[in-house]
Amino acid sequence: MGESQVMPEPLERLRTNATKCRDLASTSVTPEARDVLSGLADDYEQMATSLEHKVSARRHRRPAFHWHLD
């Protein structure tokens, strides 16, 4: 499946996944597992932030033209 066909996950789910990865990283036995899980948490946070900005930009979009009706 191509990247353009993948639906973005809801913001809450991305934040939840980041939190779970951070929790698992904090209890990891090996440093490698800690690094991988921390990296995944960072990726999820980055995706959530990006999605948040996209949603915010759509909400605050101004009209292209302002018509004055006299």
Give the model confidence (pLDDT) of 29-45 as tens digits. 999 999 999 999 999 99
Q: Determine what percent of the chain is predicted with pLDDT higher than 90.
A: 56
| Cβ neighbours of residue 48 closer than 8 Å, sequence gap 6 or more | 11, 14, 15, 18
Residue 27 has pLDDT above 90, yes or no: yes
The answer to whether 55 and 11 have CB atoms below 8 angstroms apart is yes
C-alpha 37/C-alpha 46 separation (Å) is 14
Q: Smallest Cα–Cα separation from 49: which of 41, 59, 60, 61?
A: 41
Q: What is the mean pLDDT of residues 14-27?
A: 96
Angle between helices 31-59 and 11-26 (to 10 degrees): 160
